[in-house]
Amino acid sequence: MSEAAAKKAAAELKAEQAARRQYEERISTMTRELKDANVRCEFLEKDNKARTVNLGKALQEAREARSESRAAREEIRQAGEIAAGKPFLLQTKFGDPKYAPLNQMWSSLDAFLDLPKSVSDAAQFFQAQEGRATEKLFWSQFSMPKRPLLLNEQMAQWAELHKISGSAMKDVVVRLWPTEPILNSYFGLVQRLLDAVPRIDAVK
């Protein structure tokens, strides 16, 4: 009976050890699979982030391309209307025949209308100045453009030239009319300068 019990116990122990080995092998296999799954998950996350970044860049480039395309189409449309002699932009306010003289005056060329030349002159002037880092940076961004400037970029140039000319004309007016009040409108500036022409002729 003792020998039979020992054999039975040995068989049960052997079976338990076999079951334990199977369990440990299963745990080891699951651990490896879990590690592999984590590696795959990290790879997919990185790939997804890269794809998201690339997608964002592609969308931004597409938006910029659409914006440039719209601006180019608008400039071509306006140029076509101007070439055809049709009213455009603010001229449509003066489309009535009774405003014909005003429309002709509106269409006359500006003596200082050469925007690229003005931009080039401003860039050269500020490059030769000490300091003035802001002005140098602003005008340098328009030097040697790789594409035609968009309408908003041209408007930025006009605005800066407008600000510079306004400061210069204020200094001129203060020196020419030191006792007169400082003007607060461009129309008033034009009228004062026109009134000064006869005085200049008289001085000559």
Identity of residue 109: L
| Domain-embedded: residue 146 | yes
Final residue belonging to a domain, choices 65, 83, 101 = 83
More confident residue, 111 or 20: 20
| Domain-embedded: residue 157 | yes
| Domain-embedded: residue 127 | yes
Q: Which domain holds residue 14?
A: 1-83
Of the listed ranges 9-13, 34-38, 76-80, 117-121, the least confidently predicted one is 76-80
Whether residue 14 is found in the same domain as residue 74: yes
What is the pTM for the complete model shown? 0.42
Whether residue 119 is found in the same domain as residue 62: no
Final residue belonging to a domain, choices 83, 101, 129 = 83
Mean pLDDT of the chain: 80
| Domain-embedded: residue 189 | yes
Whether residue 115 is found in the same domain as residue 197: yes
Q: How many domains does the chain have?
A: 2
| Domain-embedded: residue 194 | yes
Q: What is the pLDDT of residues 153-170, one digit of tens each?
A: 888 888 888 888 888 888
∠ CA 28-33-37, nearest 5°, is: 150
Whether residue 67 is found in the same domain as residue 136: no
Average pLDDT over residues 188-198: 85
Rounded Cα distance, 172 and 164, in Å: 13
Which residues are CB-neighbours of 196 under 8 A, at least 6 positions away? 176
| Domain-embedded: residue 94 | no
